[in-house]
Amino acid sequence: MHIYALKAGRNYKLKNIRATFGDKIVQKSPLVVALDDNAYYVFLEYGVFVYIGTNKNIAEVVDLSEFFEGTTRLSETMPLKINQEKEGMVAGALHVKTLDAAKVGLMAMVLGRSLALETHEKSVGESFDEFESIIAEFKERGASKLSTKDLFKKIASAMQIRHKVIHAMDLLSAPDATWEDRELYDLYITLNEEFEIEARYKTLDHKLSTFYQDTELILGFIESRKALILEAIIVLLIVFEILIFFFEQFVLKH
């Protein structure tokens, strides 16, 4: 068996899922569907689909376009074995004594969090590289090739990513069920460490803090540039007024 998680879109279509699977839905949060062949589907609110079973070709399992909005395709895969004697990670595979809706939901949640982090890591990485080049321009030339409008677009994009990640703060919180079940808690810790959820989140948070500092620097530059332009306009107006005065006093009167 294996666990296959896919970032299938922005969010799932609950109405379609209920209409298709009906009484096969065995858990609502996260939404777990139990299939006849000891396989499971899990639908997570942030657009992640998880399949647990023996089929290695996800395209043969389900048509995801019916259940998700969007077409992103990041994925995570992990081998899964039912082992009555031992639980935990063994040679890259997850071993569990039994498989039920609670464990399936928990496994799906952690893999889904990993994919959510990967999505944010990719977006932050791209924006981070862009800002690095902009900051380098400021250091070398004291200005940027980008217009003020384009700079504001870059800043808005970076801040939007930052807000999304802040909104995903629950990536670090343990599900409520783990506090009531020691076996679930141990499974959660095992998976959390395997996918380095906390370490990756801290790295992401550090980059976002750097983002914030960079955007403050760029905004400060834009405000300074606006102030200089305004001062230049005022000086030009004063000079223009003086020229008019001299023109009236010494040219028109003679």
Identify the pLDDT of residue 9. 76
Three-class secondary structure of residue 36 per DSSP: coil
For residue 80, how many other CB atoms are within 10 A of its CB? 20
pLDDT in tens, 89-120: 888 889 998 889 999 999 999 998 888 888 88
State both tokens at 64: 């995801």
Q: Which of 219, 196, 182 is nearest to 103 (CA)?
A: 182
pTM above 0.85, yes or no: no
Identify the pLDDT of residue 106. 93
pLDDT in tens, 173-228: 888 888 888 889 999 999 999 999 889 988 888 887 777 777 777 777 777 767 76
Distances (CA, A) of 187 to 119, 123, 203: 24, 29, 24
Do β-strands 74-82 and 93-96 pair in parallel, antiparallel, or remain unpaired? parallel
Distances (CA, A) of 162 to 7, 11, 74: 20, 19, 20
Which of 50-54, 56-60, 196-200, 206-210 is predicted with the least confidence, judged by mean pLDDT? Answer: 56-60
pLDDT category of residue 170 using cuts at 50, 70 and 90: low
For range 142-171, the mean pLDDT: 71
Three-class secondary structure of residue 229 per DSSP: helix
* Greater pLDDT, 87 or 158: 87
Mean pLDDT over each residue of the chain, to the nearest integer: 81
Identify the pLDDT of residue 103. 92
Q: CA 218, 221, 223, 225 torsion: positive or negative?
A: negative
User: What percent of the chain has pLDDT above 90?
Assistant: 15
Cβ burial, residue 183 (10 Å; 0-12/13-18/19+): middle
Cβ burial, residue 249 (10 Å; 0-12/13-18/19+): exposed
* Greater pLDDT, 74 or 171: 74
Alpha helices in the chain (DSSP H): 14-21, 58-61, 101-141, 148-167, 182-194, 197-246
Q: Which of 22, 42, 169 is nearest to 109 (CA)?
A: 42
- Concatenated DSSP letters of 62-129: --GGGTEES---EEEEEEEEE-SS--EEETTEEEES---HHHHHHHHHHHHHHHHHHHHHHHHHHHHH
Highest averaged pLDDT of the listed ranges 56-70, 72-86, 139-153, 216-230: 72-86
pLDDT in tens, 31-44: 999 987 778 999 98
8 Å CB contact between 115 and 48: yes
